[in-house]
Structure 1
């Protein structure tokens, strides 16, 4: 059996297809993301089964988890995997009847069902980034997401946190001459200013400026050079996309998620394998202590009214938080847990004023992220975005629902670590900061388990001395 997962981008997808059913069968197009593989064998089996008898297709909304079952009498696709127009435009919802899809499912009926009955028939709700799945009744051992393991054999301790490099037209540092203009001096500046060599590096988004191709090239060269100078394995570097790396303001590139492809290519080249945007890194330092860090993508296409805000989605965030907790519980030594994304979960500046072309920088589901951090006992949330370094703490002491208040909600606050910009031009840096910055955290080095934060100030020509703040 096949499961199709969908989102509501332009309209209520399920409602539009059910409305079309009033006059006869409806065609449901599979919007294949550009980076997804083409499941030829799965579609061939489904098409053969539908030709013999009606088959049931599981439909699940990515965010709201609306559950439905489509009664399918035909599956149409091309053997070469190419997208093609609807076989019957009059039986396709108007909002996309002129579009091309990788496969079309002819539904005689669509029935909304409860989650329990859907799971009984199709198995656990699939996680990850794909939009088409083969139904699995038994929960696999690695559910919900695969873990990216890494051992920083040569790193010492602590976390280097850099963000908002903005390679491309907004980058503020000179480059060495050469055909690719590698920005090696900035990597050397950061490494020379570190108090000790870190066990891992987190780069929390906006590696590029507006996704410029030369920005991606420079960013890759920089990250590779930084990894080499720190003598780290590549899986000890956690790369997060920002709103400049995955553009979401052009609907022509978001329908099939081709807007993610440049960053996905960047990840594949750096890690040497296809890598999901949401994942977990489990890293050990020289003393055997673990840093378990979940990566989240907060640059997601949504409605025009809220597109510029950060947003992750419970379907993507919850599995990552859960896996971070599982990894931490399996560790046999001290463990520090965190999740990293690009957009804010706390205001960075004292006052935020929306601009005509840009709203405030908060993540729309920040409350959900904080609640998940409490539930899974996560120590910290790391982010970048506003070029303003700060340390905050946040706590949701109780959650109130129709079933009453939650019980045993942790009351210890989650530490929020906002990074400044390590590479943007000086005019793009807020006045209270004035310089490019990086952050260095040593969570295990303070007996009271508080966090030591070091901000390194980088001027265009000089590196300013470090200063520390304990919270």
Structure 2
């Protein structure tokens, strides 16, 4: 089956790859690059070919230029194996803008990384919610103004917005403290603009909710999973996956895939 059939548009939502250059496993011994490879191996078994892949931040764990060069190499290989579909990355709290631009984009600069692309009649907007040195996120004033201007021009098939930090509440627990700080500003910007959904990461587990009437979708971490609802600590679990998304008749749907594995506890931050 092709990526677009009638009014159907399939795509992959990937997040929190946390890749480091070979020989480094700073995230509690997790082999993040190998886990990402396993995720793409599973994606290639799907009976549909996705139109694109969007990665909603935390591309690397340490964020130096060599990490980004290695990640770019891996992603180029995986996207070629997937049939050459386009990749749309965004930045998360573990990312660093300068090293990302140098290592991944082969350019200089420290500016926030945000952009928009059209896929058939659907518009994808990738935002940069990175707040340097902080775990929660924020969309700065210049970027928010840009977003409002872009949304003034309607997209006939609707708009998808990808950003690392969830704008709405999550399943509860400590991770609610780590969401987008200026979420009310985002709510005002997207009100009445035919936004099909907000695609986020950061919390490392699949969660679907509503943000001022707009669907919010987080994907499983491609490197490691979190247990939801923890009140005292964050529990890291050997659990990886992704979301298969489809826009059908103007409505966004998402199916989370969790890959088989031991599901063992990797780290409890209370310990």
The bucket for the TM-score relative to the shorter chain is 0.7 to 0.9
Give the Å deviation of 1:242. 0.7
Where does residue 131 of structure 2 map in the other structure? 300
Tell me how far apart the structure 1 counterparts of residues 33 and 88 of structure 2 sit (CA, whole Å): 24
Give the Å deviation of 1:443. 1.4
Give the Å deviation of 1:429. 2.5
Give the Å deviation of 1:212. 4.3
For structure 2, the 5+ residue unaligned runs are 230-236, 264-271
Counterparts of residues 101-250 of structure 1 (less than 5 Å): 155-156=3-4, 157-168=9-20, 169=25, 170=27, 172-173=30-31, 184-192=37-45, 194-233=46-85, 236-246=86-96
Q: Does 1:383 align with 2:233?
A: no
Is the alpha carbon distance of 1:173 and 1:210 closer, same or farther for their aligned partners in structure 2, counting shifts above 3 Å?
A: closer
From 232, 236, 240, the counterpart of 1:436: 240
Give the Å deviation of 1:228. 1.1
Q: Deviations over 1:55-103 (max 9, x none)?
A: xxxxxxxxxxxxxxxxxxxxxxxxxxxxxxxxxxxxxxxxxxxxxxxxx
From 326, 329, 332, the counterpart of 2:153: 326
**Larger C-alpha radius of gyration, 1 or 2?**
1
Give the Å deviation of 1:276. 6.6
From 74, 95, 99, the counterpart of 1:262: 99
Q: Does 1:363 align with 2:216?
A: no
Where does residue 149 of structure 1 map in the other structure? none
Where does residue 269 of structure 2 map in the other structure? none
Q: Is the 8 A contact 1:338 1:379 kept in 2?
A: yes
3-state SS in 1 of match to 2:173 = coil
Give the Å deviation of 1:343. 0.9
Tell me how far apart the structure 1 counterparts of residues 112 and 33 of structure 2 sit (CA, whole Å): 31
Q: Is the 8 A contact 1:296 1:339 kept in 2?
A: yes
Give the Å deviation of 1:317. 2.1
Is the alpha carbon distance of 1:279 and 1:431 closer, same or farther for their aligned partners in structure 2, counting shifts above 3 Å?
A: closer
Give the Å deviation of 1:216. 2.0
Q: Is the 8 A contact 1:292 1:327 kept in 2?
A: no
* Aligned-CA RMSD value: 3.2
Q: Is the 8 A contact 2:65 2:100 kept in 1?
A: no
Give the Å deviation of 1:319. 1.3
Tell me how far apart the structure 2 counterparts of residues 434 and 172 of structure 1 sit (CA, whole Å): 8
Q: Does 1:350 align with 2:172?
A: yes
Is the alpha carbon distance of 1:221 and 1:188 closer, same or farther for their aligned partners in structure 2, counting shifts above 3 Å?
A: farther
Where does residue 7 of structure 1 map in the other structure? none
Where does residue 140 of structure 2 map in the other structure? 313
TM-score (normalised: structure 2) = 0.77
For structure 1, the 5+ residue unaligned runs are 1-153, 177-181, 247-259, 285-289, 355-359, 396-412, 463-471
Q: Deviations over 1:31-78 (max 9, x none)?
A: xxxxxxxxxxxxxxxxxxxxxxxxxxxxxxxxxxxxxxxxxxxxxxxx
Q: Does 1:422 align with 2:258?
A: no
3-state SS in 2 of match to 1:316 = helix
Give the Å deviation of 1:277. 0.8
TM-score (normalised: structure 1) = 0.46
Is the alpha carbon distance of 1:320 and 1:265 closer, same or farther for their aligned partners in structure 2, counting shifts above 3 Å?
A: farther
Tell me how far apart the structure 2 counterparts of residues 173 and 293 of structure 1 sit (CA, whole Å): 30
Q: Deviations over 1:2-33 (max 9, x none)?
A: xxxxxxxxxxxxxxxxxxxxxxxxxxxxxxxx
Q: Which has the higher contact order (CA 8 A, sep 6+)?
A: 2
From 129, 152, 158, the counterpart of 1:336: 158
From 244, 249, 258, the counterpart of 1:457: 258
